[in-house]
Amino acid sequence: MSESALPLKGQVAVVTGASRGIGRSIAMKLASEGADLVLSARGVEGVEAVAAAVREECPDCRVLPLGCDVSDWDSVSALVDRTLEEFDRLDFLVNNAGITRDNLVLRMKQEEWDAVIATNLTGVFNTCRLVARQMLRQRSGRIINITSVVGLLGNAGQVNYAASKGGIISLSYSLAREMASRGVLVNAVAPGFIETDMTAAMSDEAQEAMADSIPLSRIGKPEEISSVVAFLCSPGASYITGEVIRVDGGLATGC
Ligand code: NAP
């Protein structure tokens, strides 16, 4: 694509949880479409490695790797301040950082509940609250929150994760209504079962059983999520807000 044809050229994206898996793929995809990037995760070496890969593939892309814990208000505040210092604008926020701490409810420890809610749900609140002022001032912006089909279907052993992901969906609906009149669009993407470190911990048998339950009979790839995120950032998605797009091979059909 010639540089002038890049759809996201001149726009700035903040991606959380960008050091691996789906977040890494989102970073590479948005860079390939011309966006400048702020890449964050708690481990700064991970985002520095992704930033190096972005620079290699997209030499014109400006990319800033930063350590940030989304569950910590001051850490997110520093991330947003640094972004605005460097780029003076913020067009896309992709809330991708997430963790699991699975257990059946009777065995679930308070720390397992708290950690998942703090990262997955409070983290999204923190980033949205801190970027909202800038986007409202610009009268433009797109927020894309990565939820999960588990937030729609529930899942045994994941009451904490399901609650956090269901919460992201309701938060996205509400924020879409709050920000629409100022040109800021808020949507969620709900992946099914995607091949990343988060799912690699499952046994081969469990992965096969999961694949068998998916109408498309296979696990998804991170690139199948990042292409949808890039679409939601693109001019073609200008009339979509308050939507949850399932990308799950048909797993949650009917929800
Ligand atoms: P992953 O490979 O485990 O990567 C998670 C990313 O989040 C890492 O970059 C990690 O880096 C970062 N992170 C974790 N806690 C953080 C915190 N407190 N603050 C900032 N960054 C943090 O996960 P993934 O599979 O790519 O999943 C990405 C998103 O998709 C998650 O929200 C997940 O719930 C969702 N999702 C995944 C699947 C799937 O099947 N893989 C399905 C549905 C939804 P650090 O550890 O260095 O912080």
What would the pLDDT profile of 182-216 be if each residue is shown by its tens digit?
Answer: 999 999 999 999 999 988 888 888 888 889 999 99
Residue 4 has pLDDT above 70, yes or no: no
pLDDT at 41: 99
Q: Residue 73 phi/psi, 5° resolution?
A: -55, -45
Active-site residues, by number, are 161
pLDDT in tens, 111-143: 999 999 999 999 999 999 999 999 999 999 999
Place of tokens 């970027």: 131
Residue 3 has pLDDT above 70, yes or no: no
Q: Say how far apart CA 155 and CA 29 lie, in whole Å.
A: 30
Q: Which whole number is the average pLDDT over 137-165?
A: 98
Ligand 1 proximal residues by C-beta, below 6 Å: 16-23, 41-43, 46, 68-71, 96-99, 119, 123, 146, 148, 191, 193-194, 196-199
pLDDT in tens, 55-71: 999 999 999 999 999 99
Mean pLDDT of the chain: 97
Q: Which whole number is the average pLDDT over 86-104?
A: 98
Residue 160 has pLDDT above 70, yes or no: yes
Closest residue to atom 9 of ligand 1, CA basis? 17
Burial (CB < 10 A; 0-12, 13-18, 19+), residue 1, is exposed
| Three-state DSSP class for residue 244 | strand
Are the C-beta atoms of residues 164 and 120 closer than 8 Å to each other? yes
pLDDT in tens, 7-49: 999 999 999 999 999 999 999 999 999 999 999 999 999 999 9
Q: How far is the CA of 21 from the centre of ligand 1 (A)?
A: 7
What's the token pair of residue 175? 């924020």
Q: Which helix (H) or strand (E) holds 142?
A: strand 141-146
Q: How far is the CA of 71 from the centre of ligand 1 (A)?
A: 13
| Inter-CA distances, 120 with 46, 96, 125, Å | 19, 9, 9
176 C-beta neighbours (distance < 10 Å), count: 19
One-letter amino acid at 226 equals: S
Nearest to 96 by CA among 179, 39, 29, 170: 39
Order of all β-strands in the sheet with 63-67: 63-67, 36-41, 12-16, 92-95, 141-146, 184-191, 244-247
Question: Quick one: CA torsion of 61, 67, 21, 144, rounded to 10 degrees?
Answer: -70
Q: Which whole number is the average pLDDT over 88-112?
A: 98
